[in-house]
Structure 1
């Protein structure tokens, strides 16, 4: 065989394969699935919790980072005064609140 024939065979076999970008397609699809099923819902949930904690006001029941459940007596921009029991009040950072408990009889979201 001549060198011209070999070069034509090599060029023909290289052109018949799939494009190079198709090898990345499964990775892109896995990332999109991961994004829509895990990351996006988690970001929405974190945003909702952040908004709920920012809206804490006097009279709300909250759960602190230490696991204490109490009623907010005084709300400041950075601090909350929480009543844990009769005549037992603590001052907590707003950032240390884990959850706001819905009052009994409130509609579920």
Structure 2
């Protein structure tokens, strides 16, 4: 009887551990993403540039209770559910973050600056 009771407790402990792992690896991060998405939807305002879940880029023209009107071209306006907005494109964040191309150019310049010095040193050694 002791071994049966012991194996039953081991099984309960394993199930508990699996439930904890699922909570911390799946459920908790998903709740965090849901809160961030809801905060983004609640903070939509006129003039924001957004991308919908369908990949349509537009500028918010009007915000209603459950929908948002996007200007996608000069004379084209489309009304979407707020939940259809995937991301808000923030110009300030794009400007402040250095682009990968600029970073590559800076690295190339740094390499070019060090190469002439090495070339001069190697010529002097000869």
TM class, shorter-length: 0.7 to 0.9
Q: CA deviation at 1:21?
A: 2.4
TM-score by length of 1: 0.73
Alpha-carbon displacement from aligned partner over 1:54-93 (angstroms, at most 9, x marks no partner) = 2100011111232101110111112211111222211222
TM-score normalised by structure 2 residue count: 0.64
**Offset, 1:19:** 6.5
Structure 1 outlier segments of 4+, above 3 Å:
104-108
Query: Which structure is higher in RCO with an 8 Å CA cutoff and minimum separation 6?
Result: 1
Alignment root-mean-square deviation, CA: 2.0
- Looking at structure 2, the residues matched to 72 and 31 of structure 1 have their Cα atoms a distance apart, in angstroms, of 42
Based on CA coordinates, which of the two structures has the bigger radius of gyration? Answer: 1
Structure with the larger helix share = 2
In the alignment of these two chains, the number of paired residues is 94
| Structure having the larger proportion of residues in strand | 1
Q: Who is 1:72 aligned against? A: 60
Structure 1: runs of 5+ lacking an equivalent: 1-13
Structure 2 Cα separation of the partners of residues 36 and 42 of structure 1: 10
Question: Which sections of structure 2, spanning at least 5 residues, go unmatched?
Answer: 98-126
The match for 1:40 among 24, 28, 32 is 28
